[in-house]
Amino acid sequence: MAKALPLSPLAQALPRLEPVAGVRLGAVAAQIRYKDRPDLMMMEFVPGTTAAGVFTRSKCPGAPIDWSRAALAQGKARALVVNSGNANVFTGRAGIIATQISAAAAARVVHCPATEVFLASTGVIGEPLDAERISDAMPGLYEGLSPEGWEDAARAIMTTDTFPKAAIRKVEIGGSTVTIQGIAKGSGMIAPDMATMLGFVVTDAAISHDILQALLVEGTERSFNAITVDSDTSTSDMVLVFATGEAGNEIVTSLADPTLVAFREALNSLLLELALMVVRDGEGATKLFTVRVSGAVSDDSAKKIALAIGNSPLVKTAIAGEDANWGRIVMAVGKSGEPANRDTLSVAIGGTWIARQGTVVEGYDETPVVDHMKGQDIDIQIDLGLANGHAQIWSCDLTHGYIDINGSYRS
């Protein structure tokens, strides 16, 4: 971006980040698109680090997605390289060559096969990525890696983000204290269909690739795949988790291992915290809203209805305008294409039931709903009254700021 964006009113401060045993990281300004600001990040992992990943379901993915999907097949990682400013998408053969150059440059300094290097890119689509800038910057970047480089890394992957995003958890596995720490970026082109942005999580726990992959898929479904800013799924989205095994616990190789319970809960919690930061930094956003749907014919149906509400421009602009127009919510339920019955439908905003069983609650007073709409965190609840399916998603309002940011993104 040509000029700095104002800080989101929903911004959250970085937590106190700590070194995670087995990883060094850092960032430099490689002048890929942004001038004189960090735009190239690297993580180096100890040998034996296992990896897990989930990727965009876009039918037009970027070259780094293809590269990292292939790298994931062996389940091991020695390095991660991420650039911002250029997504390396829709760049044809040049894009493939750029991934090869980037991975080879990282492999040379880490002394590992290029197939153990993961790549991610974010930024403008359709412009060739000058990978020579990445390879030229690589020796200096590698020289500056340190266990304390988390904040620099979080800032280097930002594009239209207004604040860096990170989270940390500490739990025990079999008597060993383990750390889980992650960073994320994202504020626009955000919709469920894998991961909706970039997220990178590292733990020093010893966990096999297969178990780590299962945990990530499970945790993603109720975090990164349950948020939406603008209903647009990116070409470049991925979430990767790396486990260095340096904590000293006996390696976990079964999902049924009782020592995994606390770790699983902590990972899910961390993924959700990062995902909600992405929504809080939605382009132009001033409010975060939660949609909870119950009484649907299935959980999948409930989620589709919740997303129809979360993605509705009319609902999102009503929230931006602090208008308690619950009719727009009913509209979104009806247009979802999922089973619904107007005569069993109930609607609540901010805990106040407006309609029950298809009719307005007798004596309904809009005052508490109007007061609730003035806050930054809005709660919408739907009961379809059909069965037991339920789901929860998170979205943000739609303001003129979204147009301002995206109308001038390439300028």
Token code pair at residue 177: 């204290």
Start-to-end CA span in the chain (Å): 7
Token code pair at residue 389: 């399916």
411 is in an annotated binding site: yes
CA distance 138 to 127: 21
Query: Any idea what DSSP says for residue 342?
Result: T
30's torsion region: left (phi>0), alpha (psi -120 to 50) or beta? Answer: alpha
208 is in an annotated binding site: no
Among 56, 91, 196, 235, the one annotated catalytic: 196
176 is in an annotated binding site: no
Token code pair at residue 296: 């649907």
Token code pair at residue 192: 């469920």
Q: b/e string for 95-134 if b means 16 or more Cβ within 10 A? A: beebbebbbebbbebbebebbbbbbbbbbbbebebbbebb
196 is catalytic: yes
35 is in an annotated binding site: no
- H helices of 171-298, in order, are 209-221, 261-280
408 is in an annotated binding site: no
Query: Any idea what DSSP says for residue 118?
Result: E
| Closest of 66, 191, 57 to residue 121, by C-alpha | 66
159 is in an annotated binding site: yes
State the DSSP H helix or E strand holding residue 51, giving kind and residue range, or none if neither: strand 50-55
| Closest of 386, 382, 223, 368 to residue 312, by C-alpha | 382
CA distance 240 to 54: 7
Tell me the one-letter amino acid at 385: G
| Closest of 28, 281, 18, 286 to residue 141, by C-alpha | 28
> Which residue ranges make up the annotated binding site?
159, 185, 196, 283, 406, 411
> Which residue ranges make up the annotated binding site for substrate?
159, 185, 196, 283, 406, 411
Q: Residues with catalytic annotation?
A: 196
